[in-house]
Structure 1
Amino acid sequence: MSKYSDIVDFISTEIDNGSIKHGEKMPTIRELSHKFSCSKQTVVHAYDKLQKDHIVYSIPQSGYYLVDKKDLHIDKIKKIIDFSTGSPDESILAYEEFQHCLNQAIDIHKATLFNYSDPKGLSELISTLKNYFEDYQIFCSTNDIFITSGSQQAINILCSMPFPNGKSTVLVEQPTYHGTLKALETTKTSVIGIERNFNGLNLEELEKKFAYGNIKCFYTIPRFSNPLGISYAVEEKKQIVKLAEKYDVYIIEDDYLGELEIKNNEFPMYYYYISSKVAYIKSFSKVLLPGLRVAAVVLPKVLRNTFEEYKKWMDLNTSVLSQGALDIYIKSGMFKANRNRIKTIYSKRMSSLKSASHKFDIPNIKWHIPDTGFYGCIEFLDKLNLDWLVKECGKKDIIIKEMHENYLKDYFNNDFLKISVGSSRISEIENGINELLKIVKKYYHRQTL
């Protein structure tokens, strides 16, 4: 467990046992820094977390204080269980480790910080990523790699820029990542969908859309999809790439959770490409720090110049400090160690979700839970009022959300509910799913009366 988490747990325990009372000043940043042998910034991050949870508040030039429970009109501070978010758990992020890398990056790249840099990205990081990608069976040259300000920027550029095939429509899986749908909406890019469910993708339908849909690119999340958590089988990946080659369609592969893969011989779609048809996007938000805003995209040669031109006039260059720190973090071996730690955590959380899902026998629902990742899914075999379910869960401080934002208008399906374990600990998963299933069971019981 990180020092950040240790501090949060220590403060929470002190509050629970009455050692810290309302009106009394909390331990100072200096005191906690000394007690836990950590940086002051780590303590600040811990207090930020406690503030977001409405447990403490700060007074400038004075310090931190315990929130008065009477002011909240509740008997105790309740823990919100959020099954809706795609954000990672703040308590397991490597703040302290990465801070050292930031400090080193300032010393190494201080001259560059005062000037504009190459819009393509920091050359040192690009070289490091070339080697890093080989662990994922992504074999490319440094010329193929571009650094972007988060994966969202890579998606925005690729969806809006012209492609050599001269086509204009983007094909997306249904459902898919809502950030991509918003990017297409705001750029007024032509878009059509294709259903992807727990039986996979209809390859005959895909071929028809590739052949007659004026498709310039197909945006896909091959593994641990957002929001359903499903992954393509190896043969599906090969067939999709083969069809893309046949009909001159480019594939935009968003591998946002590739670091969580626990199966051997499960490679990105990029690995199976026959010719230069796959652009591979790698985010570092889920396993490192969301606020880092650094991602990488591996591009076919024919897309490089156009992509670089769009990138340059979108932000001139991605933060040199963030790039430099990430380069140091990967080279030091800390990233790999952190990746293995995060992989274990989310594998255990998904196992916990599987275990919790078996506690109630409800014939009206079917669970779809992968071995790892952020998302599992409930399929409602009999119709259920999701608006009602959202409100009832809210009364128990459990956040769930229907998936309108993940669908194009003509594809919306209200038979599914995503369950994210991204920011929930094992105890919260167990308790939250237990309460959720009680509510679901009660609903179906009432329907039979």
Structure 2
Amino acid sequence: MKIPIDRQSSNPIYLQIRDYFSRLIQSEKLAAGQRLPSIRALSESLQVNKLTVIEAYRVLEVEGLIHARQGSGYFVSSIANTKFTLHSNFAPTQEVTIAQGDGSFLEQFIASLHAQHQGNIIDFSSGFPSSFRIEELQRVAKRSLSRAADLLFRYNFPQGQLLLRQQIAQLLLQQGLEVSPEELIVTHGSEQALSLALRYYLQPEDWMIVETPTYHGVLGILKNLGAKVIGIPMTATGMNLELLEQYLRSHRPKLIYTISTLHNPTGITTSQTHRQQLLALAEQYECLILEDNAYEGLNFEPVPAPIKALDRHDLVTYISTFSKTLMPGLRVGYMVVTGKHYQPLVEQKLLNDLHVSTVSQAIASEFLASGLYRRHLGRLRTTHLQSRNAMLQALEQHFPKAIAWTVPQGGLFLWTHLPDRIPIQTICREALSQNILVANGAAFFLSKGYPAMRLNYSHTLEAIEQGISILGKLLKKHSASNVKTIKIASKIKADTTNTEVDKPKFQSYY
């Protein structure tokens, strides 16, 4: 294939390649399902580095124009010629909330479990990675148990097996975070890591800061802990840093809880500048940071290194997990703790449960050692990108125009911001009656927030189209009812106002 390349242009070559294929796809000269030249063939034809072609294809993939098939190459996406917006219109009101944590996490968690066991429900409320083929999982488990057999009949270190910690350190290095195995603690998923950290850093009645909305599991822990919580609103680019500084100055909280990459529930990833500014504020006001990046590794495009990578004063504790990228049932997460806090947290881990299951650690270690984990992440990114694009397309087609949503660059969720006065509980209930389970956004706020839904897009394209179509009909029905109610209320108010205007005249006459 001959592609005109201007090597003197200020436009990078990989973008010239992207632009060429984009024009062909958008004009339908390349049809859906058509295979693109292989990376090797195109690099030889254009006499450019393979990495240049890889980067061009990566951008096309992020834009939803092409997708990869394992072992087969890149193909034009079936939805490539359907236009949808790749820019978020999310712009919520910036209101700070002060309250204690909420306790609705259990309710939504159990509802999702019931939905999974029922089988005929499209569960938009929670997200899990695609499962491995059972034969592949069995082979990995068999090898890992064989190698760890001598460890099964005795206790292990509370901070986790050394080999696994070494492998996690290598994984984090690829994400821009340099850490030693002696600064890692393996936990029962990130939920245990969060609980250990919050109970270690906070006492009842201590002030702390969270983003709002935020992960509802943390709100449940904080409610049990009795901490006083300040909810700083999210903007389209992350936590509102101006409001953050204001409350750091006025309340002197002990801890900031943040999800910097693929935020739960909004899907927002903050920029390098935002991360630097947040850390600078924490340093200025001597406040610790708990960085919870459970979805790190599921990004569609490169993301900045974690805030922890910038930390030079041991202010940041970093948490992540394999539950969202490998399998939830393993219950293997980890935390990076540097400086004086490491040993006390290891002690807390020991007193909590001695150590994480030796079997679970061995299986996670084998996935990392065999290279299956890296290949699995690649498959997840490809399938999630297609399903995210399908959901964006379905939202534009079926949802009322007044609804805003985020456009996450990875992960499992996007966040929809509904107009005020929309009866979100009624919509969730009616959706469930039609076998659609959604996460009511109220669960992710400290107290009453704006109407919203968190939608998980890790489904088949057919399930996404069916589910969003049903939700769209419900939203349009209740939006229309809401407009009628507002018009009636406005008329009553106008009539009342006119009556009250006339009344003083009558009295003054007499």
TM bin, normalised by shorter chain, reads 0.7 to 0.9
- Note if contact 1:80-1:398 (Cα within 8 Å) is conserved in structure 2: yes
Cα distance in 1 for partners of 2:333, 2:135 equals: 21
Tell me which residue corresponds to 2:170: 131
Q: Given the superposition, is the C-alpha separation of residues 407 and 382 from structure 1 closer, same or farther in structure 2, using an over 3 Å criterion?
A: closer
2:466 paired with 1:431: yes
Cα distance in 2 for partners of 1:225, 1:139 equals: 22
Match of 2:339 among 287, 290, 301: 301
2:461 paired with 1:421: no
Tell me which residue corresponds to 1:5: none
Q: Given the superposition, is the C-alpha separation of residues 247 and 259 from structure 1 closer, same or farther in structure 2, using an over 3 Å criterion?
A: same
Residues 172-212 of structure 1: CA deviation (Å, up to 9, x unaligned): 11111111111122233343322224353221221132233
Q: How does 1:38-437 map to 2 (within 5 A)?
A: 52-53=117-118, 79-85=120-126, 87-88=127-128, 92-93=131-132, 95-162=134-201, 168-198=206-236, 200-360=238-398, 362-409=400-447, 412-422=448-458, 424-437=459-472
Q: CA deviation at 1:152?
A: 0.7
Q: TM-score, with normalisation over the residues of structure 1?
A: 0.77
Q: CA deviation at 1:116?
A: 1.1
Q: Given the superposition, is the C-alpha separation of residues 132 and 448 from structure 1 closer, same or farther in structure 2, using an over 3 Å criterion?
A: closer
| The 10-residue stretch of structure 1 (347-356 or 272-281) with the greater mean CA deviation from structure 2 | 272-281
Structure index of larger Rg: 2
Tell me which residue corresponds to 2:489: none
Q: CA deviation at 1:272?
A: 2.6
Q: CA deviation at 1:389?
A: 0.9
The amino acid of 2:466's aligned partner reads N
- Note if contact 1:127-1:142 (Cα within 8 Å) is conserved in structure 2: yes
- Note if contact 2:269-2:409 (Cα within 8 Å) is conserved in structure 1: no
Q: SS at the partner of 1:193?
A: strand
Residues 392-446 of structure 1: CA deviation (Å, up to 9, x unaligned): 212321112313322213xx21322211124x22110111111211221122233
Cα distance in 2 for partners of 1:351, 1:380 equals: 20
Q: SS at the partner of 1:257?
A: coil
- Note if contact 2:115-2:437 (Cα within 8 Å) is conserved in structure 1: no
Q: CA deviation at 1:341?
A: 0.6
Q: SS at the partner of 2:140?
A: helix
- Note if contact 2:390-2:465 (Cα within 8 Å) is conserved in structure 1: yes
Q: CA deviation at 1:133?
A: 1.2
Residues 11-61 of structure 1: CA deviation (Å, up to 9, x unaligned): xxxxxxxxxxxxxxxxxxxxxxxxxxxxxxxxxxxxxx999346xxxxxxx
- Note if contact 2:314-2:339 (Cα within 8 Å) is conserved in structure 1: yes
- Note if contact 2:237-2:271 (Cα within 8 Å) is conserved in structure 1: no
Q: CA deviation at 1:94?
A: 5.2
The amino acid of 1:180's aligned partner reads V
| The 10-residue stretch of structure 1 (211-220 or 331-340) with the greater mean CA deviation from structure 2 | 211-220
The amino acid of 1:339's aligned partner reads L
The amino acid of 1:116's aligned partner reads Y
- Note if contact 2:237-2:269 (Cα within 8 Å) is conserved in structure 1: no
The amino acid of 1:414's aligned partner reads Y
Superposition RMSD on alpha carbons, in Å?
Answer: 2.6
The amino acid of 1:52's aligned partner reads H
Q: CA deviation at 1:390?
A: 1.2
Cα distance in 2 for partners of 1:237, 1:50 equals: 37
Tell me which residue corresponds to 2:78: none
Cα distance in 2 for partners of 1:52, 1:361 equals: 29
Q: CA deviation at 1:252?
A: 0.9
| The 10-residue stretch of structure 1 (322-331 or 438-447) with the greater mean CA deviation from structure 2 | 438-447
Q: Given the superposition, is the C-alpha separation of residues 200 and 296 from structure 1 closer, same or farther in structure 2, using an over 3 Å criterion?
A: closer
Cα distance in 2 for partners of 1:368, 1:293 equals: 29
Q: SS at the partner of 2:411?
A: coil
Cα distance in 2 for partners of 1:348, 1:394 equals: 25
Cα distance in 2 for partners of 1:323, 1:448 equals: 55
Gaps of 5+ in 1: 3-48, 55-78
- Note if contact 1:259-1:339 (Cα within 8 Å) is conserved in structure 2: yes
- Note if contact 1:356-1:429 (Cα within 8 Å) is conserved in structure 2: yes
Cα distance in 2 for partners of 1:356, 1:123 equals: 46
2:481 paired with 1:446: yes
- Note if contact 1:369-1:375 (Cα within 8 Å) is conserved in structure 2: no
- Note if contact 2:216-2:444 (Cα within 8 Å) is conserved in structure 1: yes
- Note if contact 2:441-2:451 (Cα within 8 Å) is conserved in structure 1: no
Q: Given the superposition, is the C-alpha separation of residues 289 and 445 from structure 1 closer, same or farther in structure 2, using an over 3 Å criterion?
A: same
| The 10-residue stretch of structure 1 (346-355 or 224-233) with the greater mean CA deviation from structure 2 | 224-233
Q: CA deviation at 1:364?
A: 2.3
Q: Given the superposition, is the C-alpha separation of residues 205 and 440 from structure 1 closer, same or farther in structure 2, using an over 3 Å criterion?
A: same
The amino acid of 1:125's aligned partner reads L
Q: How much identity, in percent, do the aligned residues show?
A: 27
Cα distance in 2 for partners of 1:369, 1:264 equals: 15
Residues 242-263 of structure 1: CA deviation (Å, up to 9, x unaligned): 1111111111111111111122
Cα distance in 1 for partners of 2:445, 2:303 equals: 31
The amino acid of 1:433's aligned partner reads I
